[in-house]
Structure 1
Amino acid sequence: MTTSFGQLAHLGHAELLTPDLDATVWFCTEILGMTETARDGDAAMLRTWDDYEQTSVVVRAAPHAGVGRVGLRTSSPEALEARAAALLAAGHEGRWEDGVAGTGRTFVTRDPDGHEIGLYHDTTWYTAPDHLRPGLKNQPQAKPGRGVAVRRFDHVNYLAADVQANAEFHADLLGARATEEIRMDDGHVAARWLTYTNKSYDVVYTEDWTGASGRLHHLAFATDTREDILRAADLCLDQGVPIETGPHKHAIQQTFFLYVFEPGGNRIELCNPVTRLVLAPDWPLITWTEPERAKGQAWGLKTIESFHTHGTPAAAGTDDRRYRPAALARRGDA
């Protein structure tokens, strides 16, 4: 079954699970430079300055780190109904719920790996209060004067036991296009990048070497410039935020990146992919071979082991203390 490209408008928001709510919110506001807009019990709503919707990330207290529901906005109410019907017809479980984070009626389902996905169309456009009102009327919010000031929530990278099955779920039932992949010598797909838009990718599935299901590799936030990522590295160094790797440049998708760990243990990517768009309607799937992938990044240091082994929740029997520092060096509330 193949659906028309475009019924999914874009990646909307993600729920980030953390065992340390206050510390993760501190990271989002003081390091990433996001704006907290509301609290609802054990959840905090945050936004980047250039996302038009009310919420970019819901940070929710949980026993362990990981990803909860990821929201995808459809292009119309009719597209929402069509996608829900297609999912049910294909045998996927689903239910209708009231929306969260400023969204309306939502169809909640799961990918083959168990990651929760919410499809919605109705949403709340952000209206900035006076102190955050931008100088330009075509910008939803003034740029924050703190942290990195990330521009938008860019993509989610899932870990999955079966990459191809999950990628085909997005392509066949949600209308995504695959743009790049890694195919190993034995023929199986180890990673695949997909887009709903003319961005080069919105969602990624990467093989989970542990064989587990439902885990997160990282959430990613786009910056205005490469210099913002260099500044982020200095800021993380000063504030005691663990840097995993970077700044370097990926060969796949050509992203300039920095990977860090927020206090709850989740991997966060700061990336600058904003100049790379896929405008061709007949873009061919770019396949990277196992030997090509083994070469590592386009430039910079070779990929470190933890990038391939760590995900959240942490795998059973692994020690995740290095990803969750007991105290950050200069936390404002310490």
Structure 2
Amino acid sequence: MAMTGVLRPGHAQLRVLDLEKSITFYRDILGLVETGRDDRGRVYFKCWDERDHSSLILSPSDSAGIDFIGFKVLDAATLDQLERDVRAFGIATERVPAGDLLETGERVRFRLPSGHLFELYAEKTKVGNGLPSVNPPPWSMDADRGMAPIRFDHCLLYGPNVQANKDLFLKVLGFHLVERILGPTEAGEPEIGIFLSCSHKTHDIAFVEYEEPGKLHHLSFRMPTWERVLRAGDIMGMNRVPIDIGPTRHGVTRGETIYAWDPSGNRFETFAGGYEPYPDGDPITWTFEGFPHGLDYPQGKLHESFMTVVT
């Protein structure tokens, strides 16, 4: 599939309560690579197999949650065109100057109908993955520190106006709908959850209907195999990382997963598996009654914390 327009999830800025404790967690336990610090107190990380400078930015705060999520686009011309398209859709945009984030070019920022700050950018300094570009070995020494995810994979965001988000992502940003969750029929909500892709992953971003705007459910980090998800679970146990759900398999996306909490109470996921949809496929539908197996396929259980706790 030709990759044009919006390419992939690029970065997320996460609010943390204790910066030093969070640095230790994300660097030494999760196993990310620290790539920089700025004069606003923010600390930058990437997964070992990512080539761009950073995919996670930690920002010290008195409240947990997400500040913004950014997606990379093909080039500067694409960025300009998408900004025009977003404005034509009726959403105001602003330009964030190059250098506001370390090693990152100009960004186009706007607020989604769900209340989340979302941004697009075309340029970020390439720092590589620690391997040569000619005759490389299959993994870096960084791949064995902590859980060692290979990339920032996706996020699930909670907020109102999921249908308006869907229109924006499908009609303007070029995503396609891969899976959806229907609400109870008496509530009159045709879709309370949507899983959207700009690639041929099961989802690059997902939204669930929620009364409070701008909430984070989780950031997900891709593991190469189910075995590495299980190894991540061992590392969580060794370091007394509180686990929300798992290890288990989703029915939705067929992903293999563990959900757990960082030191600030932000939920993160170690994720593997799934299938490879293409834009011409029909979306999979989960009914409200069937969703317990969509969440936790072996148990068919709606875990209360998963459904109610967000930051």
Corresponding residue for residue 121 of structure 1? 122
Give distance in 2, aligned partners of 1:266 and 1:134: 35
Corresponding residue for residue 209 of structure 2? 207
Give distance in 1, aligned partners of 2:125 and 2:177: 29
Identity %: 29
How much does 1:133 deviate? 4.5
Task: Establish whether residue 174 from structure 1 lines up as the match of residue 176 from structure 2.
Answer: no
Give distance in 1, aligned partners of 2:197 and 2:269: 18
1:151-182 CA-to-partner distances (Å, cap 9, x unmatched) read: 11000110012222222221122111110000
Contact residue 51 and residue 140 of structure 1 kept, 8 A:
no
Q: Structure 1: where are the runs of 5+ without partners?
A: 313-334
**TM-score, L = length of structure 1:** 0.85
How much does 1:7 deviate? 1.1
The runs of at least 4 consecutive aligned structure 1 residues that moved more than 6 Å come to none
Q: Give the letter aligned to residue 288 of structure 2.
A: E
How much does 1:45 deviate? 0.3
Cα distance change, pair 301–20 in 1 and its aligned pair in 2 (3 A):
farther
Corresponding residue for residue 258 of structure 2? 258
Cα distance change, pair 202–157 in 1 and its aligned pair in 2 (3 A):
same
Give distance in 1, aligned partners of 2:154 and 2:184: 27
Number of corresponding residues: 302
- Secondary structure of 2:142's counterpart equals coil
- Secondary structure of 2:192's counterpart equals strand
Corresponding residue for residue 13 of structure 1? 11
How well do the aligned residues superpose, as a CA RMSD in angstroms? 2.1
How much does 1:102 deviate? 2.1
Please identify, of 141-150 and 193-202, the stretch whose mean Cα deviation from structure 2 is larger. Answer: 141-150
Q: Give the letter aligned to residue 55 of structure 1.
A: S
Give distance in 2, aligned partners of 1:303 and 1:35: 34
Cα distance change, pair 307–89 in 1 and its aligned pair in 2 (3 A):
same
Cα distance change, pair 140–57 in 1 and its aligned pair in 2 (3 A):
farther
Corresponding residue for residue 290 of structure 2? 292
Corresponding residue for residue 35 of structure 1? 33
- Secondary structure of 1:164's counterpart equals helix
- Secondary structure of 1:270's counterpart equals strand
Give distance in 1, aligned partners of 2:298 and 2:4: 34
- Secondary structure of 2:156's counterpart equals strand
Corresponding residue for residue 88 of structure 1? 87
Alignment of 1:1-334 (within 5 A): 6-40=4-38, 41-99=40-98, 100-127=101-128, 132-133=130-131, 137=136, 142-186=141-185, 187-188=188-189, 189-208=191-210, 211-273=211-273, 276-278=275-277, 280-295=278-293, 296-300=295-299, 302-312=301-311
Contact residue 134 and residue 141 of structure 1 kept, 8 A:
no
Cα distance change, pair 299–111 in 1 and its aligned pair in 2 (3 A):
same
- Secondary structure of 2:168's counterpart equals helix
**TM-score, L = length of structure 2:** 0.91
Q: Give the letter aligned to residue 224 of structure 2.
A: D
Give distance in 2, aligned partners of 1:64 and 1:139: 39
Cα distance change, pair 303–134 in 1 and its aligned pair in 2 (3 A):
farther
